[in-house]
Amino acid sequence: MPTKWKTVSVREELWGAAERTLETSHYRSLSEFVSEAIRLRLHELKQGREVLERPTEYPVIRERLLYTQRHIWAMVTPGGNVRVGLSDYAQRHLNGISGIQTKPVGSEVKRKEPFGVVQTWMFMFDLYSPVSGKIIQINKVLQDEPFTISKDPHKAGWIAEIKPNDQITLEDELRDLMSLHQYKMWLMKLGRR
- For range 167-173, the mean pLDDT: 90
pTM of the model: 0.67
Nearest to 129 by CA among 181, 169, 94: 169
Burial of 81 (0-12, 13-18, 19+ CB in 10 A): buried
Burial of 36 (0-12, 13-18, 19+ CB in 10 A): middle
Q: Which fold has domain 62-192?
A: OB fold (Dihydrolipoamide Acetyltransferase, E2P) (2.40.50)
CA 140 from chain center: how many Å?
11
Give the pLDDT of residue 53: 47
The radius of gyration computed from the CA coordinates of the chain, to the nearest angstrom, equals: 25
Task: Write the pLDDT tens digit of every residue in 65-75.
Answer: 999 999 999 99
Q: What are the residue ranges spanned by the domains of the chain?
A: 10-53, 62-192
- For range 92-121, the mean pLDDT: 92
